[in-house]
């Protein structure tokens, strides 16, 4: 077994943005489908410019025999309080995308908020979202 290196960090989930040298990440963890808006990521960037990508998934029932179940899921991305994009995904039908990727450039000290809303509430329908990127200009 290879030991964990001292400079390695443990992946964390939650609302925040985590910096690892010149890279950043944010992993939401899972969110059950809800017909009330939930905040899945919320953070303020640091002093560098970030080139990155959001990943968003529609609700999936990760249980044997139920993978065909799903929801219509919407995501709303706001930057500094202004809506930057709204994305609609559908895991209930296979005629729409079930995942989305959105590339962005985030200026220094930008407040970022990603919210999720589903067509119905279901504790067994889980969605995730994440952000990964590279930081420039912090030298």
Whole-Å CA distances, 105 to 18, 52, 69, 133: 17, 6, 35, 9
34: Cα separation from own chain's centroid: 16
Residues 6+ apart with CB under 8 A from 10: none
38-49 pLDDT per residue, tens:
999 999 999 999
118-137 pLDDT per residue, tens:
988 888 889 999 999 999 98
pTM of the predicted model as reported, rounded to 2 decimal places? 0.86
Domains and CATH numbers, the chain: 18-136 (2.60.120.40)
Q: How many CB atoms lie within 10 A of CB 112?
A: 23
Whole-Å CA distances, 25 to 32, 60, 122, 129: 22, 23, 28, 11
């Amino acid at each position: 077994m290879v030991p964990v290196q001292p400079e390695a960090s443990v992946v964390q989930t939650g609302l925040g943005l985590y910096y690892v040298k010149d890279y950043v990440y944010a992993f939401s963890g899972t969110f059950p489908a809800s017909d009330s808006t939930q905040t899945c990521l919320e953070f303020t960037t640091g002093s560098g410019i970030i080139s990155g990508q959001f990943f968003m998934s529609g609700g999936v029932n990760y249980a044997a025999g139920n993978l065909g179940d799903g929801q219509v899921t919407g995501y709303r991305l706001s930057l500094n309080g202004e809506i930057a994009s709204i994305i609609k995904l559908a895991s209930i039908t296979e005629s729409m995308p079930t995942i989305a990727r959105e590339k962005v450039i985030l200026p220094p000290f930008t407040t970022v908020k990603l919210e999720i809303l589903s067509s119905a509430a279901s504790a067994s329908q889980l969605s995730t979202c994440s952000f990964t990127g590279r930081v420039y200009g912090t030298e």
